[in-house]
């Protein structure tokens, strides 16, 4: 079979583009995926107790983008779910992101009231402030508060998660979980949030159900596709490939690491099933200062599933070794982004190859951003030509 479109990777980036090619262009498309399943890091399955779990860590869907929500809603109904996170701090379970309720729960009332007023005066209500910004305040009392939050919420969590100090990372990393001058305890404030009613894998199956889509699992693309880096040509089954290639794996791997390896952070997951209805009060509890894991998530909270047992997942951050680990997180630091930039420039020489997604763009993207980018690339670069 000859394909005009070949997609590497069956995560959101690859699946959105394959779905668009098959359903709107009515063209045949081949997806090559090295794992034994579709869905990329969003893959979920029923464990041996019949509980729906996320193999590669907990995934909660949330977005501000109506077009992304409408697009993805073609392939799933939703379980209405709002994500709440507590942090275990000073022997208490308190709301994360750190907000006015957290302040009251961790500090004596008089002090909390005083600092609350100061925060509102200095920044006004319903404002989100990244912790590294709050630490720059001129106000002496707020400096002490910022230091407290930094020490209790961010410092040790970030050391565990990334193996470095918060200041060593791009400020956007800790800004994902800002200090929130509000009583809103939700982890995300996005207008659209929820969980695919029958799980992510089912959503992907529905996305990829068109007969125009062929999927080859357990196949590394390098077994089938050869690249002549001097001539900048792609060969598919030994013939020059003149169609469009959409690549969603690590960009440094595509170029055989010619400029050096891009660093990633990995994780190990520990799943535990408990003989009880529920293990914890909310979906996720963060442990900034205790244990080697960063957080525990209980799937039944996320999915609303009923079962006499419950399964939890603990996340243990790890160094990344390219030969045996999964590259879960690109590491947002200036030198890494500079290295990525070299690959991005090199990629521009390949006019019929499109690099999309968290790994191919080396960006700390959430699912909704990946879907948005993929729709954009499809519209601008694939459907138009």
- Chain residues 80-99 in contact with ligand UDP, contact rule CB under 6 A: 87, 96
Contact 329, 365 (CB under 8 A): no
**Under rule CB under 6 A, residue 366 binds ligand FAD:** yes
Exactly one of 15, 248, 286, 297 binds ligand UDP (CB under 6 A); that residue is: 286
Residue 352 CA to its chain's centroid (Å): 27
Over the window 294 to 333, marking each residue x when it contacts ligand UDP by CB under 6 A and - when it does not, the resulting string is: ----------------------------------------
Q: Which stretch of DSSP H or E encloses residue 272?
A: strand 264-274
Largest CA distance in the chain: 75
Which is closer to ligand FAD, CB of 192 or CB of 328?
328
Kindly state whether residue 362 participates in binding ligand FAD, applying the rule CB under 6 A. Answer: no
Is 34 near ligand FAD (CB under 6 A)? yes
| Cβ-proximal residue to ligand UDP, closest one | 157
Q: Is 177 in the site for ligand UDP (CB under 6 A)?
A: yes
CA-based angle 208:210:215, to the nearest 5? 55
Identify the DSSP state of 75. S
Asked if 42 interacts with ligand FAD (CB under 6 A), we say yes
Considering beta carbons, is residue 59 or 135 the nearer one to ligand FAD?
59
Asked if residues 188 and 180 have their Cβ atoms less than 8 Å apart, the reply is: no
The answer to whether residue 173 forms part of the interface with ligand FAD (CB under 6 A) is no
367 touches ligand FAD by CB under 6 A:
yes
> Among residues 12, 157, 192, 247, which is the contact residue for ligand UDP, using CB under 6 A?
157
Q: Between residue 229 and residue 288, which ones bind ligand FAD under the rule CB under 6 A?
A: 248-249, 267
DSSP 73: T
| Tokens found for residue 284 | 């996720």
Q: Which of 10, 119, 177, 181 binds ligand FAD (CB under 6 A)?
A: 10
Query: What contacts 24+ positions apart, CB below 8 Å, involve 297-305?
Result: 297/57, 297/58, 299/51, 299/52, 299/53, 299/54, 299/58, 300/51, 301/81, 302/58, 302/60, 302/81, 302/83, 302/195, 303/52, 303/79, 303/81, 303/195, 303/199, 304/79, 304/81, 304/195, 305/51, 305/52
CB of 274 to ligand UDP, least distance (A): 23
Query: Can you give the binding site for ligand UDP, defined by CB under 6 A?
Result: 87, 96, 153-154, 157-158, 161, 173-174, 176-177, 286, 288
Query: Can you give the binding site for ligand FAD, defined by CB under 6 A?
Result: 8-14, 32-35, 40-42, 57-60, 220-221, 248-249, 267, 328, 357-359, 365-368, 370
């Amino acid at each position: 079979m000859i394909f005009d479109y070949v997609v590497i990777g069956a995560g959101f980036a690859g699946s959105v583009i394959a779905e668009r090619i098959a359903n709107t262009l009515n063209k045949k498309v081949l997806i090559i995926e090295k794992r034994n399943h579709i869905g990329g890091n969003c893959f979920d399955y029923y464990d041996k107790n019949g509980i729906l779990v996320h193999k590669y860590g907990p995934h909660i869907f949330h977005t501000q983008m109506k077009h992304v929500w409408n697009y993805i809603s073609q392939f799933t109904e939703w379980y209405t779910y709002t994500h709440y996170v507590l942090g275990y701090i000073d022997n208490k379970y308190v709301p994360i992101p750190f907000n006015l309720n957290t302040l009251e729960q961790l500090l004596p009332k008089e002090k909390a009231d005083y600092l609350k007023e100061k925060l509102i005066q200095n920044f006004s209500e319903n404002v989100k402030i990244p912790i590294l910004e709050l630490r720059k305040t001129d106000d002496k009392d707020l400096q002490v508060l910022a230091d407290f939050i930094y020490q209790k919420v961010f410092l040790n969590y970030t050391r565990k998660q990334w193996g470095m100090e918060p200041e060593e990372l791009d400020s956007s990393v800790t800004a994902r979980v800002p200090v929130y001058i509000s009583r809103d305890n939700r982890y995300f404030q996005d207008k659209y949030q929820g969980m695919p009613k029958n799980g992510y894998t089912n959503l992907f199956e529905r996305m990829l159900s068109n007969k125009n889509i062929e999927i080859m699992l357990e196949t590394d693309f390098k077994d089938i596709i050869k690249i002549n880096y001097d001539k900048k040509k792609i060969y598919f089954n030994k013939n020059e490939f003149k169609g469009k290639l959409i690549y969603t794996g690590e960009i440094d791997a595509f170029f055989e690491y010619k400029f050096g390896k891009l660093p990633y952070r990995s994780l190990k997951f520990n799943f535990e099933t408990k003989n009880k209805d529920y293990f914890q009060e909310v979906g996720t509890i963060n442990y900034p200062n205790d244990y080697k894991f960063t957080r525990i998530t209980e799937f039944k909270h996320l999915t609303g599933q009923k079962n006499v047992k419950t399964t939890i997942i603990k996340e243990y951050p790890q160094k990344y070794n390219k030969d045996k680990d999964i590259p879960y997180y690109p590491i947002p630091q200036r030198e890494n982004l500079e290295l990525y930039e070299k690959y991005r420039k090199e990629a521009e020489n390949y006019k019929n190859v499109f690099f999309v997604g968290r790994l191919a763009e080396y960006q700390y993207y959430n699912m909704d951003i990946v879907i948005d980018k993929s729709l954009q690339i499809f519209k601008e670069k694939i459907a138009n030509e």
